[in-house]
Amino acid sequence: MTGPEPARWEGGWLSGARAVPSPNFGPRPGAERPSLLVLHSISLPPGVFGGPEIEALFTNCLDCSAHPSFEALRGLEVSAHFLIRRDGELLQFVSADERAWHAGKSSFRGRERCNDFSLGVELEGLEGGVFDERQYLALGRLLPQLRERYPLVAVVGHEHIAPGRKADPGPGFDWLRLRQDLGWETQLFPFV
């Protein structure tokens, strides 16, 4: 029996992910390589899954008049490296070699500006809601591919690097399951 096929990369773009390039990114400072992985959750409108709104937000194409909750997003320029849809589909918005704009004001182990040294993975879902089995399976494929390429030292939620400001992915995310599925060392999950 053979193991999983090794990841194929073109620069910082992972083959197998549907590329949806976002204009919301910048260079990492110096020779910085991502060492932190940050999990998020998002749904637009809140609690609605499967529509084009997340892609539209990350590509600055969201019609902010289409739903009352979108008004707060007007003018916002955000992105993530990856999005995992409810059905497990993997999308990539920013090269993993570049800095996506996903963490905002944040700190990890005393170091500010987590965007500089992290990868952002959005899960289609609600803060505190449960996530689909297919999303855990997709994470189980994606994270080893990222760890093979980048020197990851920790996997955290947005709630852990911006406490009080962010609460995602929230209590509905099964951190223990993720750790067990991956078989990674406990210290990679400092908040579990």
Surface-to-core class of residue 39, CB atoms within 10 Å of its CB (0-12 exposed, 13-18 middle, 19+ buried): buried
Q: What tokens does 37 get? A: 């992985």
Dist CA 68 CA 72 (whole Å): 8
Dist CA 138 CA 136 (whole Å): 5
Q: Is 122 a catalytic residue?
A: yes
Set 55, 71, 112, 122: catalytic member: 122
Dist CA 117 CA 36 (whole Å): 6
Q: Give me the active site residues, please.
A: 122
